[in-house]
Amino acid sequence: MSDIIRLLPDHVANQIAAGEVVQRPASVVKELLENAIDADAREISLIVKDSGKTLIQVIDDGKGMSTMDARMAFERHATSKIQSADELFNLSTKGFRGEALASVAAVSHVTIKTKRPEDDLGTTISIEGSKVIAQEPAVAPVGTTVSVRNLFYNVPARRKFLKSDNVELRNVTNEFHRVALAHPKIHFKFSHNGSDLFNLPAGTYRQRIVNVMGHKVDDKLVEIKEETELLNIHGYIGKPEYARKTKGLQYFFVNDRFIKHSYLHHAVSSAFEGLLSQGSNPSYFLFLDVPPDSVDINIHPTKTEVKFEDEHSLYAIIRASVKHALGQFTINTIDFQKDTELDVPYEVSRSAIKSPRIEVDPDFNPFNDTGSSRKVHQHIQKPAGSWESLYAGLDDTSVLHDETVTSPRNSTSLFNDDVEQTGSSIFQLQRKFIISTLQSGLLVINQHRAHERVLYEQLLRQLTVQNGVSQQLLFPVKINRSPDEVDIVKQLQSQLESVGFLFGIIENNVIEIQGLPLDLKEPQVEPLLDVVIKSEQEQVPQQQDAQLQRMAAQLAGQMAIKTGEQLRVEQMQQVIDELFACEEPALSPAGKKVFITITGDTLSSKFDH
């Protein structure tokens, strides 16, 4: 029997390796930017076309490469960063595997032009699918320019699974942010299809965060700085009141390398315990400096997952540092000149607010001594001999026990405070359920889910026929978000306008809203946009119908009547009427039960025991 195990050809091995290192255009951007940083560049430009599918070009002014180095850089496991296995545990550079450029060249057309300061001429090399097509001397500035064209041209299956241009550009932008935030002393530029997206001059960490995320972020940052034997931590955390539903502004950097670490993220989140509402996420830009030999960054090809030698101690330090920074911020914001006598007492502020009730006796007639009013007046009518007689008898306790006038505290009723009495066959229970009588029994409706179903079907029709009605705002609302989140809103602009939104400026870091759907209140706008953005960031590719249904469900969930909201009889009746005019009244958009019926037989069975 002949041998069946053979060595793979180099170009096949490179394509397999590329599957680990090069997953999408953003992967190429990350590797090329990190190589430019390792070359001690002071200015780096990223040029992208068609979200990286057509062109990814990185230009740096670093130290360049010799002719031999430029050729060797595209060989597998060729690197200038390490010489022995021991150095894997004491790394201070970015690219050290020696696989990135070889993997990129295996699935694209690559051209590199490079020159060292001491050389008169530079070198140009062209590679297609791991094969060197040309190599020749060239006039070039000091530094290196790498151009990657037609990514995955020879692996159509990989290219087919790339997402839309908007999604891929978002991933490229995220990688650019991660690298740029970690190196504020380097001047970064980024352009896409000829348009300049970012121009980030060298500066401090705070300046870089503000330039990337927008100027309004500056007022929301609290500085954090701690130095210990195990860890030096510096950076910024977001003020609790600016926490959002999305997780976009959460960045961990270890030795100037972006990482993802759920355990350390929990340390930050736990420090915010009690300061954030449910579902809100803290924002942070934290830079950790640890000894290189205490962290292993070689456990994953993307190098975003790392392993620390003493994670438990780092957890405690990070949590304590964030708590300390929050404590300092809280102390600095206390108003010691405030008149505490004007504060609402705690027990009052925590109690439920009840609307005052006005009770009117329809039979009362001040000119008639008969009827119900006479029973009250007979206790207080005295001979009008003096003005004191007008008040005589008011201390008579019999008034309080009269069969007509009773004290609210001592009165009993079939309804307690959880039941809103309306004098109608419809009433509200616990400000959560709408109860209505039927011939066969009772109808119990979940008010939030019912209104959610009504709005869902209305919004879905508006998204389909583009006929949403808007309410114009007297003063436009301006919301500050990161550029990639603003880009998501810009992509969804036509769909949001079809349900009633009116937009002004949508660019850079600002979303200006000039009009809202009729059922949407102004305080709901920002949380609603956060939900839409988060869903779009986490979505998988869907057909148009499914995408519209998802958006309608998100909008309806935010706009619907909430549990705890008191309704008038007319409002409850309207919800009932509109619910049973829906195509699917029994289920909410999430598939949950909207109402139940309780028959008379069911009630009778409760009294059989």
The percentage of residues in the chain with a pLDDT greater than 70, rounded to a whole number, is 73
At residue 218, what are phi and psi to the nearest 5 degrees?
A: -55, -40
> How many angstroms separate the CA atoms of 518 and 535, rounded?
23
Residue 57's pLDDT band, with cuts at 50, 70 and 90, is: very high
Are both 388 and 423 inside the same structural domain?
no
Are both 496 and 605 inside the same structural domain?
yes
Question: Average pLDDT over the chain, rounded to whole?
Answer: 78
Are both 523 and 559 inside the same structural domain?
yes
User: 3-state class of 377 per DSSP?
Assistant: helix
Cα of 608 vs its chain's centroid, Å: 53
360 domain-assigned: no
The number of folded domains in the chain is 4
550 close to 538: Cβ distance less than 8 angstroms: no
Give yes or no for residue 394 having a pLDDT over 60: no
pLDDT score recorded for residue 377: 46
Beta bridge partners, 432, equal: none
pLDDT tens per residue across span 427-477: 888 888 999 888 778 889 999 999 989 888 888 777 666 566 777 888 888
Task: Count Cβ atoms below 10 Å from residue 388 Cβ, excluding itself.
Answer: 8
At residue 322, what are phi and psi to the nearest 5 degrees?
A: -65, -40
Are both 44 and 172 inside the same structural domain?
yes
539 domain-assigned: yes
> How many angstroms separate the CA atoms of 528 and 531, rounded?
5
Hey, what are 503's tokens? Answer: 């937009």
Residue with the larger pLDDT of the pair 43 and 530 = 43
pLDDT score recorded for residue 439: 78
Are both 129 and 159 inside the same structural domain?
yes
Domain that holds residue 555: 417-609
Mean pLDDT on 206-232: 88
pLDDT tens per residue across span 305-324: 788 888 899 999 999 999 98
The percentage of residues in the chain with a pLDDT greater than 90, rounded to a whole number, is 24
Are both 160 and 274 inside the same structural domain?
no
Give yes or no for residue 27 having a pLDDT over 70: yes
Are both 573 and 493 inside the same structural domain?
yes
Mean pLDDT on 279-303: 80
Residue with the larger pLDDT of the pair 421 and 405 = 421
Hey, what are 150's tokens? Answer: 């037609």
Least confident range of 86-90, 308-312, 357-361: 86-90
Are both 481 and 542 inside the same structural domain?
yes
Are both 184 and 290 inside the same structural domain?
no
pLDDT score recorded for residue 343: 54
| CA-atom Rg of the chain in angstroms | 34
Residue 390's pLDDT band, with cuts at 50, 70 and 90, is: very low
pLDDT score recorded for residue 412: 42
Are both 188 and 222 inside the same structural domain?
no
> How many angstroms separate the CA atoms of 474 and 40, rounded?
52
Tell me the H-state helices in 308-382. 311-332, 346-349, 372-380
pLDDT score recorded for residue 396: 46
> How many angstroms separate the CA atoms of 249 and 258, rounded?
13
pLDDT score recorded for residue 465: 63
Mean pLDDT on 322-339: 67
